[in-house]
A and B are shown apart, each in its own frame.
Chain A
Amino acid sequence: MASAPAEGTPTLELRDVSKAFGQVIALRTGSLTLYSGSIHALVGENGAGKSTLVKIIAGLYHRDSGTFELEGQPVEFKSTAESKAAGIAVIYQEPTLFPDLTVTENIFMGRQPVGRLGRIDRKVMRQEVRDLMARLGVKIDPDRPAEGLSIADQQIIEIAKAISLDAKVLIMDEPTAALSGVEVERLFAVARSLRDEDRALLFISHRFDEVFELCDTITVMRDGAYISTDATADTSVPEIVRRMVGRDVNELFPKQKAKIGEPLLVVENLNMPGVFHDISFTVRSGEIVGLAGLVGAGRSEVVRAVFGVDPYETGTVTVDGKAVPPASPSTAMRMGLALVPEDRRKQGLVIDSTVGRNITTAIRRLLARFGLITTGMENESAQVWASRLEVKTRALDAVAGTLSGGNQQKVVLGKWLATKPRVLIIDEPTRGIDVGTKAEVHRMMSELAGQGLGILMISSELPEVLGMADRVLVMREGRITADLDREAANSESVMFAATHAAEESYA
């Protein structure tokens, strides 16, 4: 099963499928051929059209042109129910389950076995769930509610659902993004066993090691167009990356040397029971400190506590030698701290407000004359930052929600830079933005460090951490397990610290 089984009728075939949303063309020539008994990878940058393609297959979108065949028969899906009935199951990155209902009900919702008077046969359902879980080699109580399940377990439930539907095609959209190493292994084992049952699997991922480990065929997409399909054995990571980006990527993460000066942010023995423990670190002027770790290791919680959004029980935070009081973001801001949060749409940006207003929200108090602010005053001040950050929008009056992810990130960054911070904390600076903008954001961070700012950067992308950071802190389950210099930090040492307790040493 190592090479692509390219003979016989494909289970699913899309040819030259296109889809536009008004003026925006999301997909130009989407082509994809899946065979049973194969795990097929679909790779591409953000915005390459992968998600649109998946949504067309799932019946959420309807294609504008092109052909879509399932086992040789042309199909037209008008709803998710129709594609599901045809044997296509999609497992999204963040599964959508009903939190109040039990695992069993979640698997059978909408198609419960019924007896007389339409009474649901719970016994039959529970037995099947038990069989499914046994088959998948996992132990999840069929009677517990879905609330509180880990993402990994939620995905297993989605997979169980797909199997009980006897899906011919299983599509997994970035399923490993939020999983730990063990969970990824479990998922892969399940995926392989499904492949061996002669189902067709499509695996979408940004992690090349996983793609090359799991998949037998790789399709590359770029800018909404099909680029290539290869057997995994016949290609290599650099080759795939080149096709994805359309150019060679050497200097994605250009951190320039900056003079590292005095300690700016000093955190000592920060504790919050159940969330994080004994957190101590220092960020110096001119330094970029990377905070690495798996999703859920407590990184965002730590910086939120440092900034005063969340409380902590013991420990101290000082900026420039002056203590920052706990639980007071406004004081933290005044003392020179700035936090660019992870979820821009929810926490960093007033989506329905204009770019100008967004940039100046953090400095309203400074701008106001007699407590009043005019749009003119706002735009005047925002203009400086918008041009410095090269926000690509025609006017400061544009509504923030209409900007691309990269430009939204710049607006949030601009908002905080307008406060003239000493220390900038950035949570996932480049999540969800394309490679070009990514490089710009990195260049900006590097410049800011050169101007003497201290930067604390949380990132789940290892290359970004390794490329940008002067020093890498690694967290695991609420504790810092490693403090690595630029020289000592490589993907092995960081991943080791992210998955092992501090006492175990890296061999």
Chain B
Amino acid sequence: MSTSTMFTPTEPGTTFSSRIGGLARARETGILLALLLVIAVTTIKNPAFLFSSDGFRDLLLTPSILVVVAIGEAMVIITRNVDLSVGSILGLSAYLTGRLFIDFPGIPILVVFAIGIIFGALLGLINGALVAFARVPSLVITLGTLYIYRGINLAWTGSDRIDPSEMPAAFLRLGTQTILGIPVLTLIAAAVLIVGAWYMKNTRGGREFYAIGSDPSAADLYGLKVTQRVLAAFLVSGAAAGLAGVLYAARYGTVNAQAGLGLELEAVGAAVIGGVAIFGGSGTLWGAAFGAVLLFTINRALPVLGIPDFWQRAVVGVLIIGAIVLDRILALRQSRKLIEARDQDHG
């Protein structure tokens, strides 16, 4: 048989894989560059954006909550599903956080964190069970739970509101505190990101998420535990949203029934902007996190740049569509390259 001269057996795949890998890396690098560009341009226009004492902190602090949610969302999307209920889960978890401090005075902060995470995980488990066992598209299931969870929130909260005065000062300080200039919330988000990204890249479970999203029927033929993995993805997404709810309470101090409203779309948007394929199988948590940061940074930069309020949402839309078009072009280019390589192989 004819073989290619490109892949020599002594250095398998160095040229080829680095080229393909380079493309994949370019996706996250591209988002990072776009982010730096936005920061640079805005800072030139108004140096306070970055160099004021609050500027740098806010730059890192504002997107942290969305980063946590987007990481969970990205894991779900990678399995070729979507979780639209994350905003509602965040809302419930944020109100629960407030209630815990009010109803159990002196409750340790760490316990509240644990309860918030477990509570979110349970709600995620409900999503996952409906999707994995009933084999109903997750778009419909989580659209349903989006309304159900929000409805429960409205019934529970009513016109009540958690005020900063009702929560311990140590907890609220977490929301603004910095360590070596980096906000605690950002450190938490970064920790979640590093653990999550490591898991997705280096463990069987993580790789099976990709496999399931890449071709669900092949995953069945391989004998992968598809049901279990999909369940896990939704559980993690719920847990991340639960954690984000606790962080939300710490950051804003005020929680009403509107907390996290519409956040699910921002989470999906962040993942897509960051290069997570909406049909699953590719993308990284790093990309989703960068996407979240870019989304919020642009939102903060536009007023500084003097762009009217009502254009800001349009810009987010352009960003999402731009990201999808870019992905499509990259995918086409890659598949053309792979087919060309094959033609050379057999030519």
Contacts and interface: CB of A to CB of B under 8 A. Distances in A.
A130 B13 CA distance: 10
Main secondary structure of the interface of A (DSSP, over half): loop
Q: For chain B, which range describes its interface: under 10, 10 to 19, 20 to 34, or 35 or more residues?
A: 35 or more
Contacts of A99: 214-215, 281
A283 B307 CA distance: 64
Interface stretch (B115-123, B138-146, B216-224): B216-224
Interface of A: 79-82, 84, 96-102, 105, 109-110, 112, 114, 118-120, 126, 130, 134, 137-145, 147-150, 153, 180, 182-183, 185-186
Interface stretch (B2-10, B103-111, B257-265): B2-10
Contacts of A144: 13, 16-17, 20, 338, 341
Contacts of A137: 1
Contact of B16 (A100, A141, A186): A141
A130 B217 contact: no
B325 interface: no
Contacts of A182: 1-2, 346
Contacts, number: 119
B281 A100 contact: yes
Contacts of B7: 139-141
Main secondary structure of the interface of B (DSSP, over half): helix
A110 B223 contact: yes
B211 A119 contact: no
Given A98-B215, A144-B17, A120 B207 contact: yes
B16 A109 contact: no
Interface in B299-341: 334-335, 337-339, 341
B158 interface: no
Nearest to A180: B346
A126 B12 contact: yes
Given A120-B204, A149-B338, 8 more contacts: A102-B17, A109-B208, A110-B204, A138-B3, A141-B12, A141-B13, A148-B335, A183-B1
A283 B223 CA distance: 50
B217 to A, nearest CB: 6
B53 interface: no
Interface of B: 1-4, 7, 9, 12-13, 16-17, 20-21, 202-205, 207-208, 210-211, 213-215, 217-224, 277, 281-282, 334-335, 337-339, 341-342, 346
B12 A143 contact: yes
A96 B16 contact: no
Q: Which of A137, A140, A186 has the most CB of B within 10 A?
A: A140
Given A97-B215, A120-B207, A80 B17 contact: no
A96 B221 contact: yes
A147 B23 CA distance: 15
5 residue pairs, one from A and one from B, having the closest CB atoms? A148-B338, A81-B223, A143-B17, A143-B13, A96-B218
Contacts of B17: 102, 141, 143-144
A134 B208 CA distance: 27
30 contacts: A80-B221, A82-B223, A97-B218, A98-B210, A98-B281, A100-B277, A100-B282, A101-B211, A105-B207, A109-B222, A109-B224, A126-B12, A134-B9, A137-B1, A139-B3, A140-B7, A141-B13, A143-B20, A144-B16, A144-B17, A144-B341, A147-B335, A148-B334, A148-B338, A148-B341, A150-B346, A180-B346, A182-B1, A182-B2, A183-B1
